[in-house]
Structure 1
Amino acid sequence: MGGSSGIGEATATAFAADGAEVVITGRSQDKLDAAIARIGGKTTGYALDATSKDEIAAFFAQSGTIDHLIISVSGSAGSGPFAELDLDQLAAGFDGKFWPQVRILQAALPHLDSQGSVTLVTAGSSRSAFPGTAGLAAINGALDAMVPPLAVELAPLRINAVSPGVIDTPWWDRVPAEQRTALFDGLVATTPVGRVGRPEDIARAIHMLATNGFITGVVLDANGGTSLATGR
């Protein structure tokens, strides 16, 4: 869910390379068609608005049994200095990411293979301390906090999350180029791995969690070490 670009597309590509039957969703049919052409294999698309309860229900009504569900739905609202944070925008951030992921998971439950998995894609803001990200931390932290209890409650279905750091995807296109470059350059200079992430980095982490039947209840940081204490 959310597979027409960035992390979602890279993840779909990883599963398609295994020969899996992959279904990607997104709002734009044109973007889905373009992504399907890039992904190849046995990949199909389904256009839906992940903020629409009715469209989510319609998708699962026709989906058949799903082995592995990846929820890579994300929004952009809710960031900014806390003293100036528009709380309506913070609520919009929850509406754009937290509630869609929760609704998708709940709607999917009757259609998931009990021996399968669900992997949420959250964000490293939940366990970092970057100024201006308190709202994003709240949104993603709420999703992260649900993973362990859901893993127990919904067992043997496995529930995990990947928490990416800064990944060079179209999500950053909304940030002015100069500001984006400065941020990326700063991370290159200070992050242990010496670079920002690529969608393929997160796709590999998601693929591992989904296919390893002995991992559940885990929120896996995939952030290049940005959350490590450096002594500064």
Structure 2
Amino acid sequence: MSSPTPDALLGPADIRELAAALGVRPTKQRGQNFVIDANTVRRIVRTADVRPDDVVVEVGPGLGSLTLALLEAADRVIAVEIDDVLAAALPATIAARMPERADRFALVHSDAMRVTELPGPPPTALVANLPYNVAVPVLLHMLETFPSIERTLVMVQSEVADRLAAAPGSKVYGVPSVKANWYAEVKRAGAIGRNVFWPAPNVDSGLVSLTRRAEPIKTTA
């Protein structure tokens, strides 16, 4: 695999410049908080254990911060984006900043909750900064729809991360915990500070790692 240019990833100035050029303001309705720190997205890719032969699906790529970092590490990246303006702009961003990997990228312009098929080889990993307002249903839909996804790492609101990774008997154990645990072994995989986002959210964020089980298990809440 050819090496990307050192400045291929997006920094704070790049994000704001792209957003201004597109007339984009992150919306609370869609839970948009763009990651503006290159070290954070590389940390997410490392924590997700993305491998050179992985086909990674990303939900809600936004302006492409995490997408570019995933393209550095994976064989192929498929990004699912609902926003018309962001979906239209992302392929050009990839082509401009990582041209040697652009043919390894595919965009699906759709609501992730309605996606039932993806282009190219089946995805082996799901890595995403999920919009907080739909994080759990999107995660469960993707795990159910694409059984080829072996490993997942999602960034969600810290409280949601706690619920997803909760053990039976825990105070926050509930339906999300049961459903996620049915598909996968779930664990907290770190915390993410508010200052790596634009705009900075008023809640903390956490990483959740899910490793798919060979056979789903039945549990009770």
Fold equivalence (TM over 0.5): no
Higher helix share: 1
Q: Which has the larger radius of gyration?
A: 1
Higher strand share: 2
